């Protein structure tokens, strides 16, 4: 294929925390060739327009995780993302921004302290009392290694963390990358800290439970690690290892099974009552009344049921793998 060029308008976030009160956006018009990646553009802005323009990069091979930025809101690894695919997706007006504007230090560079603090909080290392002179090898089977392999590919680029809407509005949320790391060691058969780490995952600042299931982390991860899938596995472990405690969030998950076993369908009103408890549910009454007036609340005696409910009951009984 021949190399083509195209004129692109880049609107670029500029900020220096040492000297600027507010950030601004600067426009650069650049002839982009069809072979370039986003990092080439960052380099050209620095080399051809403004030597003070700052960004992080190191490996240029999608492995160090340093070059993560956002283009029109889409999180990308600058060294991996082809300009052509961005132009196909967004057209010829592209906005380059750091991962999170809130934590910008200089241009594309952000302060990732919160990311590393949360990473640290989940004990991201193997906890094991290893004999100095063991009698035999500690063999990990292929299947056991498979379980953690994907999570082990994380390059700590921060794309999932800074694309997570919960991290954005709640600075305490542990975030998808640290959960991936927690899972990586939870799934490691050599690790002795299973319960200890699961307790962090369950309790520290509401742990996994505040995830809104938006799937942003799965979409953005350049290593296709699917963080939310690992988060679901952590949820499952909280139940199978008996770490889950009776909280609103835990009862909310368990309540689905109760309802399905009874009606096949979810009894929405009962789920709220069961999750919140008889006192907690009171705060939902004002909205519930408004909904009732509009015909949006099904009363318990009118609760619809699935046909062939006996099949569902049989399957709930025979296929359950967790207890609470």
Q: Which stretch binds ligand SF4 (CB under 6 A): 23-31, 120-128, 206-214, 240-248?
A: 206-214
Q: Which of residues 2-61 bind ligand FES (CB under 6 A)?
A: 57-60
Partner residues linked to 93 by β-bridges: 9
Alpha-carbon span 270 to 277, nearest angstrom: 10
By CB under 8 A, residue 298 contacts other proteins = yes
Q: How far is the CB of 82 from ligand FES (least distance, A)?
A: 13
Q: How far is the CB of 97 from ligand SF4 (least distance, A)?
A: 17
By CB under 8 A, residue 78 contacts other proteins = no
Cα–Cα nearest to 75, from 12, 154, 163: 163
Where is 85: in which H helix or E strand? helix 83-90
Q: Concatenated DSSP letters for 221-254? A: -TT---HHHHHHHHHHHHHHTT---S-HHHHHHH
SS3 assignment, position 76: strand
Q: Cα–Cα–Cα angle for 302, 295, 280, nearest 5°? A: 80
The residue (of 45 and 221) whose beta carbon lies closer to ligand SF4 is: 221
By CB under 8 A, residue 87 contacts other proteins = no
Alpha-carbon span 148 to 225, nearest angstrom: 11
Partner residues linked to 19 by β-bridges: none
Q: How far is the CB of 68 from ligand FES (least distance, A)?
A: 7
By CB under 6 A, residue 30 contacts ligand SF4 = no
Q: How far is the CB of 60 from ligand FES (least distance, A)?
A: 5
Q: How far is the CB of 215 from ligand SF4 (least distance, A)?
A: 5
Q: Cα–Cα–Cα angle for 272, 275, 280, nearest 5°? A: 80
Where is 312: in which H helix or E strand? helix 309-319
Q: How far is the CB of 283 from other proteins (least distance, A)?
A: 9
Angle between helices 176-186 and 142-152 (to 10 degrees): 160
| Neighbour-count burial of 288, counting CB atoms closer than 10 A to its CB (0-12 exposed, 13-18 middle, 19+ buried) | middle
By CB under 6 A, residue 63 contacts ligand FES = yes
**Contacting positions for other proteins (CB under 8 A):** 72-74, 89-90, 165-166, 169-170, 173, 206, 209-216, 218-219, 226, 232-233, 235-236, 239, 248-249, 252-254, 256-257, 259-260, 264-266, 268-269, 272, 275-276, 287, 290-291, 294-298, 304, 306-308, 311-312, 314-316, 318-322, 324
Q: Which residues lie near ligand FES (CB under 6 A)? A: 57-60, 62-67, 77-79
Which residues are at the interface with ligand SF4 (CB under 6 A)? 154-160, 164-166, 176-177, 180, 211-217, 220-221, 223, 225, 227-228, 231
């Amino acid at each position: 294929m021949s190399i083509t060029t195209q004129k692109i308008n880049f609107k670029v976030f500029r900020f220096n925390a040492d000297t600027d009160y507010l950030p601004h956006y600067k426009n650069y018009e650049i002839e982009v060739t069809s072979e370039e990646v986003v990092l080439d553009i960052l380099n050209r802005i620095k080399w051809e327009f403004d030597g003070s323009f700052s960004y992080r990069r190191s490996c240029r091979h999608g492995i160090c995780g340093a070059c993560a930025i956002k283009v029109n809101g889409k999180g990308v690894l600058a060294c991996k993302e082809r300009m052509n695919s961005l132009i196909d997706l967004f057209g010829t007006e592209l906005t380059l921004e750091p991962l999170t504007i809130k934590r910008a230090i200089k241009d594309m560079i952000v302060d990732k302290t919160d990311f590393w603090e949360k990473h640290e909080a989940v004990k991201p290392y193997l906890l094991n009392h290893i004999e100095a002179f063991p009698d035999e090898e500690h063999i990990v089977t292929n299947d056991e290694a498979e379980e953690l392999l994907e999570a082990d590919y994380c390059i700590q680029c921060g794309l999932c963390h800074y694309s997570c809407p919960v991290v954005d509005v709640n600075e305490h949320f542990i975030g998808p990358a640290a959960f991936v790391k927690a899972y990586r060691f939870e799934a490691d058969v050599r690790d002795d800290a299973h319960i200890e780490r699961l307790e962090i995952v369950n309790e520290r600042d509401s742990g996994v439970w505040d995830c809104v299931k938006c799937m942003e982390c799965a979409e953005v991860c350049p290593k296709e690690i699917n963080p939310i899938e690992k988060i679901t596995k952590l949820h499952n472990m909280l139940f199978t290892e008996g770490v889950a405690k009776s909280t609103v969030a835990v009862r909310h998950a368990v309540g689905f099974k109760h309802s399905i076993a009874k009606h096949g369908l979810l009894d929405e009103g009962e789920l709220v009552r069961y999750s919140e408890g008889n006192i907690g549910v009171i705060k939902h009454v004002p909205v519930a009344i408004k909904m009732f007036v509009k015909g949006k609340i099904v009363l318990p005696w009118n609760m619809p049921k699935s046909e062939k409910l006996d099949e569902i009951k049989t399957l709930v009984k025979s296929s359950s793998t967790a207890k609470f």
